[in-house]
Amino acid sequence: MNMPVVPTDIEKPSINPNAEIVLRKRYLRKGPDGNPVEDVQGMFWRVASAIASEEVKYAKSSFDVDRLAREFYSLMTSFRFLPNSPTLMNAGTELGQLAACFVLPVGDSMEDIFASVRDAALIHKSGGGTGFSFSRLRREGARVGSTGGVASGPVSFMKIFNTATEQVKQGGTRRGANMGILRVDHPDILKFISCKEREGELNNFNISVALTEKFMQAVEADEEYSLIAPQNGQEDGRLRAREVFALLVRKAWESGDPGIVFLDRINRDNPTPKQGEIESTNPCGEQPLLPYEACNLGSINLATIYDPNSDDGIDWDEFKRITHLAVRFLDNVIDASRYPLDKITETVGRNRKIGLGLMGWADLLFQLRVPYNSQEALILGEKVMKFLQAESKAASKILAEERGAFAAYDESTYADKKVGPYRNATTTTIAPTGTLSIIAGCSSGIEPLFALSFTRNVMDGEKLVEANPYFEQALRETESYSKALMEDVAKKGSIAHMELLPDDIRRVFVTAHDVEPTYHLKMQAAFQKFTDNAVSKTVNLPSSASEEDIREIYWMAYEMGCKGVTVYRDGCKASQVLCTGEAE
Ligand code: UDP
């Protein structure tokens, strides 16, 4: 493989030790002997130069390729912005698959089901995650015309997808992740709701129940609702909506699964309804997509736009500059990406969706000394997201002038509303940034910190110890700082009950478990208000939370306009990705 030569006059990135471990293990290109053929600087230059070189296709570009490559390089190495992991891993390589999110259709025939298993395997191999709706499959026990036998039903077929995923270890990069969705009016819904109740079952799937407004109204009115056979649209049984809702809540209380998605709401925001309905999201729920659609994501690190000298502590000009460059970057990623299926290339080319989001939100709040669980934080969250939404749209408009609107623009809802034209059918998504936030050394997505100091279990049992730098700095500025105190915090994770610490520190430096569950949800809703796609957010609950608490959260999510919700009750699963000291 020809690796691009790194110019001698660009600065080496300064990278934190945890990021170095993650990048060495999975991101740096390796030669036939398994040793890296690039260093971290080489990786960022490979990505920057490959993505900038797409610019030559467009006669009208206002950027010189070399200048743009340098801008992209500095954007990434200053950790102001990072594209999703597959772009970092594969840009400028033979594989060249750069998107994190895919949705595949699953049709009600053996041919369709196994074609989908095969397509998913190819996507996983290339580092992408897949979402599926299994709602088109006839229910377990239904007749199969061609053989006179009986059908296995959605849950049974999901096990095949799960096993296939297990065997494809994403070419040594990351394990495949899947989202499985079933409509609440599918006849197998009860079986689906309980399909992950045993530890380890369907371990490569997140599952979500697609709730309709009709169903939610039936819950409210305490009525029955109809189950519909997908193969013929006929009623196939009735269930009491409240009983189904209660089961959903119980299972989520027990294991965190299933989550819920509000399908009608997702489709109300579908910018291209003439191409069909959206029936699924990507694995972590933040990206609703049409069948055969893919989307690449990228995240701006809000910790880097803090400016103590500005009126409100935020450098809005810099935020705007980063946003415009990031949109250009992500639009170029679409052209640079090679998808494993022609149908995906076609669908992506029609709509050109990108998902620009944010990370480092909790870090920005720490720097501003604004508590996450405050009205002030909710208002600021809306303001920040509104700005990102407006500027990403402005950037997409500039690209449309230079390069043309996305192919399906004329039949999109933007054309009806006479806004645009835009280059991209969507521009904003809040991703979890699980790995990106480690690389950037910031808090993930719009989540509060899980702990102020903690041990992180990542990939292959490796453990990384981290203390939040803003917290450490704030403590050092007080008289309370001592090594013993830091060790104590590492053990507890939170300082909520450390009464010896100054009140203002305890108020600002809150962690996920110090934040009331309703505040988690309010924050999600604040960001959702100005996000085209969806918001990845976990509503953390203490282990003492009741089923009623979860029911309340689900209902609030519905009423506040969220597109879905994921709850996680502490300790409800044996293996957690993040652990505080005491949980070790
Ligand atoms: N994803 C995946 N496998 C993984 C992690 C993520 O397929 O192990 C996909 C999935 O679609 C997820 C999306 O990448 O919703 C974004 O996840 P995240 O932001 O955590 O990824 P990062 O870019 O930080 O690695």
Q: For 352-376, how does the pLDDT look when each residue is reduced to its tens digit (9 = 90+)? A: 999 999 999 999 999 999 999 999 9
Burial class of residue 134 (count of CB atoms within 10 Å of its CB; 0-12, 13-18, 19+): buried
Given the residues 195, 284, 295, 562, select the one marked as catalytic: 284
Atom number in ligand 1 closest to CA 287: 15
Active site residue 332: no
- pLDDT over 50 at 577, yes or no: no
Q: With a 6 A CB cut-off, is 294 part of the ligand 1 pocket? A: no
d(CA 414, CA 425): 8
d(CA 56, CA 67): 12
d(CA 248, CA 194): 8
Q: With a 6 A CB cut-off, is 175 part of the ligand 1 pocket? A: yes
pLDDT at 456: 63
Nearest Cα residue to 183 out of 212, 146, 225: 212
For each of the domains in the chain, give its residue range(s) and CATH number, in order of start.
101-281 (3.20.70.20)
d(CA 306, CA 323): 15
Q: Hey, whose CA ends up nearest to atom 12 of ligand 1?
A: 284
Q: With a 6 A CB cut-off, is 174 part of the ligand 1 pocket? A: yes
Given the residues 90, 178, 204, 282, select the one marked as catalytic: 282
Per residue in 443-453, pLDDT tens? 999 999 988 98
Q: With a 6 A CB cut-off, is 434 part of the ligand 1 pocket? A: yes
Per residue in 492-535, pLDDT tens? 888 999 988 999 999 999 999 999 999 999 999 999 999 999 99
pLDDT at 560: 96
Active site residue 284: yes
Q: Hey, whose CA ends up nearest to atom 2 of ligand 1?
A: 129
Distance 204 CA to ligand 1 centre (A): 13
Q: What is the pTM of this model?
A: 0.95
Q: With a 6 A CB cut-off, is 355 part of the ligand 1 pocket? A: no
d(CA 163, CA 120): 12
pLDDT at 213: 95
Distance 177 CA to ligand 1 centre (A): 8
Q: What percent of the chain has pLDDT over 90?
A: 81
Active site residue 282: yes
pLDDT at 460: 65
Q: Which contacts (CB < 8 Å, 24+ apart) does range 233-242 have?
A: 236/139, 236/187, 237/187, 239/189, 239/190, 241/215
Q: What percent of the chain has pLDDT over 70?
A: 95
Distance 436 CA to ligand 1 centre (A): 9
Instruction: Identify any residues that bridge with 301 across adjacent strands, giving them in sequence order.
Output: 359
Q: What is the mean pLDDT of the chain?
A: 93
Atom number in ligand 1 closest to CA 436: 24
- pLDDT over 90 at 458, yes or no: no
Q: With a 6 A CB cut-off, is 130 part of the ligand 1 pocket? A: no
Neighbouring residues of 243: CB distance < 8 A, sequence distance ≥ 6: none
d(CA 405, CA 96): 24
Per residue in 202-257, pLDDT tens? 999 999 999 999 999 999 999 999 999 999 999 999 999 999 999 999 999 999 89
ipTM of the complex: 0.94
